[in-house]
Amino acid sequence: MVNILVTGGAGFIGSSLVNQLIKNKHYKIVVLDNLVTGKIKNVDKNINYIIKKDVNNYYELKNIFIKHKFDYVFHFAALVGVKRTQLYPLEVLNDIKGFQNIFELSSNYNVKRFFYSSSSEVYGEPVIIPQNEETTPLNSRIPYAIVKNLGESFCKTYFKEKKLKYTIFRFFNTYGKIQSKDFVISKFIQLAKQNKTIKIYGNGSQRRTFCYIDDTIEAVINCFEKNMHINDVVNIGNDVEISMNQLAKIIMKKTNSKSKIKYIKPLKEGDMKRRKPDNTKMKKILKRNLISLSKGLDKII
């Protein structure tokens, strides 16, 4: 039996990973989540170990490591959401305590490999497009991005000093059916279905790429099960750009919505002009084309 810990395992990406891993009968999955943004209902009912704890509590976390003797750790716990992380920056900085705890315990209890959920936010305002794992400079400014970048440093440092193997996933705008309604695609769909006004920050020219959750999870699990990209960084995202204006109009068309678009004051920080990954590594991991935004939206709508 392979023992696996997934922190943040009741969140959107975390629970999607858990629900796929549980299909393998050789895996025993332990889900750890403080349930601030995660929901137990997201997790497959066959998961026997769902623990409402916070990685910031060292002694509670240590007892969990002692009891379950983990072979692998997926550290996906984090405070998420642009507005939420800007409104509560001190809570974002609290994630640093979790890094200290989870990396130390993973090292002390002989975890074979550590998988870390980073973010496209570490690139900051882009100076190179597409954003490449090795050659694009990291321009982190907001607390969320800085903390994610620090987590990457923990990965590299613990490998250097303690030989804890790692893989860093930089996620670019993943979307899917159970994503929280305060993320852009879920929010736009909900408003469009109700024929309510869709509010867009600034002039709507911001460009993003969107990756359907099935592609994200398949890439993560392939890296895990096929021993790919050990001690490496992988961009996880689609490479087809779309503006917020275009996104709103596509969703309105697909939902036959009578919504109107209203432009509101841009965010002071954190709403980057563009994000587009160099996803060469991801395409080699999947060995297939990624799900198009149109098909992904159809799956949700």
Cα(265)–Cα(201) distance, rounded to whole angstroms? 6
Those residues of the chain that have pLDDT short of 50 are none
Given this model, what pLDDT does residue 78 score?
Answer: 85
CA dist list (Å): 118 to 51, 191, 236: 23, 29, 10
Given this model, what pLDDT does residue 267 score?
Answer: 77
Question: In this structure, is the dihedral angle defined by the CA atoms of residues 7, 52, 101 and 78, taken in order, positive or negative?
Answer: positive
Residue in 93, 143, 92, 146 with CA at minimum distance from that of residue 122: 146
Given this model, what pLDDT does residue 247 score?
Answer: 97
Specify the residue for token string 């629970």: 15
Supply the pTM of this predicted model.
0.94
Three-state secondary structure along 202-252? CCCCCEEECEEHHHHHHHHHHHHHCCCCCCEEEEECCCCEEEHHHHHHHHH
SS3 294: helix
Cα(54)–Cα(77) distance, rounded to whole angstroms? 9
256: left (phi over 0), alpha (psi -120 to 50) or beta: left
Contact between 207 and 247 (Cβ < 8 Å): no
SS3 175: strand
Given this model, what pLDDT does residue 93 score?
Answer: 82
As annotated, the active-site residues are 144
